[in-house]
Amino acid sequence: MNIYPRWFNLLGSSFFGMLLLNVVVLLPMSSQAQDNLRDVPNPDPQFEKKTLNVAEGYEIKLFAEEPMLVKPIQMNWDEKGRLWVVGSKNYPQLKPGEVADDKIYVLEDTTGDGRADVSTVFAEGLEIPTGILPGDGGVYVANATEILHLKDTNGDGKADQRRRVLSGFGTGDAHHLVHTFRWGPAGRFYFNQSIYIHSYLETPYGVKELKGGGTWRYQPETMELGIYMRGLINPWGLQFNKWGQSFLTDGAGREGINFAFPGATFTAAPGAERILHGLNPGQPKHSGLDIISGRHFPDSLRGSLITNDFRANRINRFVLEEQGSGYVSKQQEDLIWSDNVAFRPVDISVGPDGAIYVADWYNPIIQHGEVDFRDPRRDHQHGRIWRITAKDRPLVEKPDLSRATTRELLKALKKPEKWTRSQAKRMLKERGTEEIVPELKSWVSDLDPNDADYEHQLLEALWVFQSVDAVNELLLKKVLNAQKHQARAAAVRVLNYWYDDVDDAYRLLQDAAADEDPKVRLETVIAFRNEQSAEAAKTALSVLASPMDEFLDFALWQTVRELEPHWMEAIEDEPEFFGNPKMKAYALKSVNNSQAAKHLVALYLEGKVPEEYNQDLFNAVAKWGRVEELNIFLDLALSDRAVHENRRASYLNTLEEAARQQEKKPTNNLDRIIRFVDDDNEQVVQSAIKLMGYWKLEQFRDRLDDITHGGNDMAREAAMDALALLGDEQSRQMLDDLTGNDQPVELRIMALKRLISLDITKAAHIAVTLLQETLEPEMASQLFSAFFAQTEGPGILAEKISGQEFPKETAQEGVKAIQQQVPYHRKDDEDVKKLQEVFEQLGGELPPDRMPQQLSNRQMNRLELDIKASADPAKGEKIFRKLECMSCHTIGGAGGTIGPGVSSLGANAPTDYIIQSLLNPSEDIKDGYELNRVVRNDGSVVTGYVVNESNSEVVIQEVAGNKVSIPQSQIDVHETVPGSLMPPGLTASLERKEFIDLVGFLSKIGEEGEFRVPNRRYVRSWKVLSDSAKTVQNISNNGLESVVNGQEEMNWMPAYSKVDGGLLLQELSFVELENGEKYSVISFELEVLSGGNATLSFNSTADITAWADQKPIDGSGDKYEVNLSRGIHEFTLAVNHNNREENSIRIEVQDADQSPAQIKLLMGR
């Protein structure tokens, strides 16, 4: 539920692309904060209700309000139809000396008027309780580091018995504590934890450990605890559908609905080598999740997933469509939306009467990491439960299952309401095996096979048997052979848990592996992990004979890895064990060791590795290949096969990566590499040149020297890299010579950057000479950056510069470089301070800021008032785009990925905090964006964010968005350091009015109105063709078609749509032809998950020429109808500026009538 994970900004491709958002902690009781109290909305529930907009056909009413409850966090129902709620007025932290006194509330509507009239405090004295779940004669509650079971034994409505169920959960962050309690379809207890929680729990079955986010699965009767899924940043939503499949939402993620299954692994899972992605890339952060079922709501809503965009004060709805072994999720119109910043829906649940109930945490301040814990605007007293119903439709009669007989509970399993079925199953489980099993068997035998829901009724019965650990093989096999694939898939999961108790379990899995439905095959592949044998792996791999998808492929990959010891031994004894080269190749590419790489290369030489696995093969050889495999790859690079298959660049790149990652090289006649230096392929040339350095081929030193003087820029850089890798005295001297005054400045700096890694003292001496000349700012910045990348760089540079004379402009660039490039955690280092002092003595003091960066409380108050009075958000959006902020941050899912998305920023961050975050970006850091510093063995430093960390490597995303892979063997120091990649002072060059407009835009984005991201599927991520002379010449000679026919390697730059989905033409580069026509050429991609017809709806197709996958397409009116096969498709548009009246291009992807096509927008950078 991320109430509220810290969001912050990161540096993009240019430092000015970093103008975003790191919320900071202010002084607790400043006059500024007091002044801002006037912005707190009226807390009266009736006033709030007037601010809530409801979708047509529905209405919202108040179910409960304070003082009946305070600050609701999670809620769940009991069998009597009472709503149990945990609330915390102590969040985010107790005051010193304060005693914890958070409560459990039980709300009842005894009159049936849709309004709670009884509120009972069941328990108090809790500390920030974050989960609640009635069951087992009492209620489970999350209480900081433990899960308790509280019980009322004397019937007075108050807990008088307290039992600790589990303890040892981490406490890294208040809103990451264990939370989101749910009963699964078969009576197991599921709950989540978040990214900063590291849990170590002692159970009768050993210590269970989960670092980071994930979902636990617990069986209270046996105390068995396991991990259901791993990852996600702050997963505050978990729900199961009618067929037992699970879905999650993430309060700090950006991918909407997540489809999970046993073993699923998502973003932020520590040590994950591979992750799954959510179903809605670019969607906002969500809290809570439920699935609409039953008779109250119309058919159009049944089956919809509903969840809370708590930051943007709205309730989203998604519709799922089956796609392969998973789903496609499509966002629909919001159910509720508001511009009231205190409306904070954090949990959502369909109740026993069929209505939707919403827990409103009610607070204008949702952050706790970035906003002062004691900020007076924090609300600690209010909270509501809202109730949403469909107009003119009867509610469901609310059953009281607490008094039902066993037969009546079984009858309830036929109800269309999930609430009723779930409560009935829980009650049956609690009555125990002896009481329910005889009647359960009788009930199953009496079911009507002609009932449309017959197979689902059988499944519900199977789940009841599972809940009481009563294995029923006859029923299991019946459901395994059901007509409905969803029932078969669910039955396989039951078989997974009953595996050791079913005599012919393996044969049943063999049959299921050949099932025609991919969801059944997904569950089967997972279940094969029970059978620790080579045969199990072989049968699991047989699913490769049918179409694969992301989810099925992930599950198979996990299974193969888990069963590796068994099948690896089998293929050592019998190379043809799998009987199918594709199966063997898949198994080998899935594991990480040199033995697998050896077998994979042997298979490749036989021509038996499928084309789609080639890149996996190359990666395996680079990471795990032995010298023998590297010799083979060098031979391959020289072979006719490399020419015929156009693979020479891949072979040489693999050898280059093996040298970089493993520090290994071939041994057979390495001199042959010289043949590639004159190759027509630029990538081949670069790899060959670098390999001369990695392989220490000193005999080619002179040739490398020649290239540095006569090659193109890319070849020259590669040659300098090779000389630096050789590292001997002669190579150093060659680099030294390249820094001489007789060389071009660009070449001198390129050489100097390499020399720094070899002899930083000498390099600093040479740098002084260079800096004494008048350098272009970009050149000076590159030079300073190279020194700052070395731990001792600033100190040595300061020593050499001290006492010298420099142009004032260069000294100023030095100060700017320190401000913008030196990480926050090093700003106070003595050598950095000394370097800045030297630059300032040389005249490097910067002119006064146009926009002051240090403001008094009075100035802050005045600025905020001016923003509210005169900010122009439309102009602010132009400034935001001009400064390239989207190179780091996403809007609607499109943009850079090194910073968090800002689609709902204005709806959750007060204006004063946005101001402070722009002025002081390193005061606090968002969850998941901690700065990491890696020092290599050679002393070079990489600073950025950890994308992935495994046993073999660490992947760091740097300031410009580049991902740098660093082998663990080459790491000397890896540490988390304070600060942000965004340096201070980036808004200093703005005029005050520009700053006002910028903040005005940021404070509006996500609020109701023109700066809320539309739910429509607009194309948002684009590429724009550069206006290079080569491009102009190519189009002039060959026509517009040349841009899609691959006649040259095009230079494309990223571009992103505005909030409203439009791409502004005036921001695009264009080529002007000899006839005076001006064209912008842009492209975008769509991923088609299921083929069929689709519609691209334009705001105007005038003066646009379009191609789909290099083929011209024609439109009708303002629409293009296209038939698309499964896969990724590229669309290219040539836009004529001369006549087009529309100043933007907006394209919406629409479903064509009666088309099976399922299409996914490709977002990100």
pLDDT in tens, 681-703: 999 999 999 999 999 999 999 99
Q: Is the peptide bond before 67 cis (omega within 30 degrees of 0)?
A: yes
Q: How long, in residues, is the chain?
A: 1165
The whole-number pLDDT of residue 1164 equals 62
pLDDT tier for residue 22 given thresholds of 50, 70 and 90: very low
Contact 792, 939 (CB under 8 A): yes
Q: In sequence order, which residues have a C-beta less than 8 Å from that of residue 548 and are 6 or more positions away? A: 324, 556
State both tokens at 342.
Answer: 């205190």
User: CA-CA distance, 1001 to 70, in Å (whole number)?
Assistant: 33
> In terms of DSSP H, where are the helices of 528-639?
534-541, 550-562, 564-573, 581-590, 594-605, 614-624, 627-637
What does the pLDDT read at residue 941?
83
Q: Please state whether beta strands 1092-1098 and 305-309 pair in parallel, antiparallel, or not at all (unpaired).
A: unpaired
Q: List, for residues 815-837, the tens digit of each pLDDT value.
A: 888 888 888 778 889 999 999 99
Annotation: CATH topology of 406-411+433-574: 1.25.40
Q: Which pLDDT does position 642 carry in this prediction?
A: 85
SS3 779: helix
Q: Is the pLDDT of residue 12 over 70?
A: no
pLDDT above 70 (res 370): no
d(CA 807, CA 789): 24
C-alpha 632/C-alpha 125 separation (Å) is 69
pLDDT at 1110 over 90: no
Residue that has been written with the tokens 């992935």 in this structure:
948
Place of tokens 């977002």: 1163
**786-802 per-position pLDDT tens digit:** 999 898 999 999 999 99
Q: Please state, rounded to an integer, the average pLDDT across all residues of the chain.
A: 90
What tokens does 782 get?
Answer: 């590159």
- Residue 329 pairs in a beta bridge with 320
Please check whether residue 249 is in contact with residue 191, taking contact to mean a CB–CB distance below 8 angstroms. Answer: no
Burial class (CB in 10 A: 0-12, 13-18, 19+), 683: middle
Highest mean pLDDT among 10-24, 326-340, 883-897: 326-340
Cα–Cα distances (Å) from 938 to 759, 789, 1091, in that order, read: 11, 11, 51
Q: What is the DSSP letter of 940?
A: B
Nearest residue to 754 (alpha-carbon basis) of 795, 711, 722: 722
Distance, in Å, from the CA atom of 492 to the CA atom of 525, rounded to the nearest integer, reads 10
Sheet holding 384-390: strands in order across?
Answer: 58-65, 384-390, 356-360, 345-350
HSE toward the beta carbon, residue 79, CA cutoff 13 A = 21
Which of 808, 817, 812 lies closest to 786, judged by CA?
817
Banded pLDDT at 167 (limits 50, 70, 90): very high
pLDDT in tens, 378-427: 888 999 999 999 999 999 999 989 999 999 999 999 999 999 999 999 99
Among the ranges given (92-96, 503-507, 511-515, 519-523), the one the predictor scored with the smallest mean pLDDT: 92-96
Does residue 30 have a pLDDT over 50?
no
Helix, strand, coil abundance in the chain, percent, nearest 5: 35, 25, 40
Cα 164 from Cα 250, distance rounded (Å): 28
pLDDT band at 28 (very low <50, low <70, confident <90, very high): very low
C-alpha to C-alpha distance for 345 and 306, rounded to whole angstroms: 11
Q: 1043 pLDDT band (50/70/90 cuts)?
A: confident
Structure tokens at 574: 């019998």
Q: How confident is the model at residue 372, as a pLDDT? A: 63
pLDDT (tens digit, 9 = 90+) per residue, 488-502? 999 999 999 999 999
How do the domains of the chain map onto residue ranges?
A: 15-38+859-1002, 40-390, 406-411+433-574, 1021-1161
- Topology of the domain covering 15-38+859-1002: SH3 type barrels. (2.30.30)
Residues 6+ apart with CB under 8 A from 504: none
Neighbours of 1146 (CB within 10 A): 20
115-132 pLDDT per residue, tens: 999 999 999 999 999 999
Question: d(Cα 998, Cα 860) in Å, to the nearest integer?
Answer: 15
Burial call 779-808: b when 16+ CB within 10 Å, e when fewer? bbbbbbbbbbbbbebbbbbbbbbeeeebbe
Q: State how far the alpha carbon of 767 is from the alpha carbons of 407, 736, 806, 896, 974, in Å.
A: 87, 11, 12, 34, 29
Phi, psi of 695, rounded to the nearest 5 degrees: -90, 5
User: Would you tell me how many other CB atoms lie within 10 Å of the CB of residue 665?
Assistant: 18
List the end-to-end C-alpha distance of the chain, in Å, as a whole number: 27
Structure tokens at 761: 């003292």
Reported CATH class of domain 40-390:
mainly beta
Crossing angle (nearest 10°) for helices 564-573 and 581-590? 130
* 3 state DSSP class of 256: coil
561 phi, psi to nearest 5 deg:
-65, -40
| SS3 state at 1012 | coil
Residues 360, 388 contacting (CB under 8 angstroms): no
Cα separation, 133 vs 474, in Å, equals: 33
Q: Is pLDDT at 20 greater than 90 in this prediction?
A: no
pLDDT of residue 884: 84
CATH number of the domain located at residue range(s) 1021-1161 in this protein: 2.60.120
- DSSP lists the bridge partners of residue 148 as 141, 164
* Cα distance between residue 925 and residue 927, in whole Å: 7
Nearest CA-CA partner of 1095 in 1041, 1165, 1006, 1157: 1157
Rounded CA-CA distance 520/514 in Å is 9
- Give the three-class secondary structure for 478: helix
Whether 868 contacts 874, CB under 8 Å: no
Three-class secondary structure assignment of 107-149: EECCCCCCCCCEEEEEEEEECCEEEEEEECCEEEEEECCEEEE
* CA atoms in the 13 A half-sphere facing the CB of 318: 28
Q: Which residues contact 1122 (CB under 8 A, 6 or more apart)?
A: 1093, 1094, 1095, 1096, 1108, 1113
